[in-house]
Amino acid sequence: MARKMADCRRFESDSRCTLTIIGEEDEVVDAATRHAVVTHGHTDSPELREQVRAMLEPEGSYAPGARTPEPFPA
């Protein structure tokens, strides 16, 4: 199974979060959801987990440094 990435640098946030999580897809969804709840104030729900899963990128997309943030999908 291909590894996936969730990268907070991709999205606008008040905290300017720079966390990047890379691993197996289900691991990344779980970790990124917990991070979204604890750090960014989201509510853990099936809808949030679907959003997180839809935003995952291939592991090979990782590049060090800054990214131009985009709005978090509603």
- Find the largest Cα–Cα distance for the chain: 34
With cut-offs at 50, 70 and 90, classify the pLDDT of residue 74: low
Residue 72 lies in a domain: no
Handedness of CA 49, 50, 52, 56 (dihedral sign): positive
DSSP-assigned states of every residue in 13-72 = -TT----EEEEEHHHHHHHHHHHHHHHH-PPP-HHHHHHHHHH-EEGGG--SS----BPP
pLDDT at residue 37 greater than cutoff 70: yes
Residue 41 lies in a domain: yes
- pTM strictly above 0.85: yes
Which domain does 12 fall in, by range?
3-61
Per-residue model confidence as pLDDT tens digits over 3-20: 999 999 998 888 889 999
pLDDT of residue 15: 84
Residue 49 lies in a domain: yes
pLDDT at residue 72 greater than cutoff 90: no
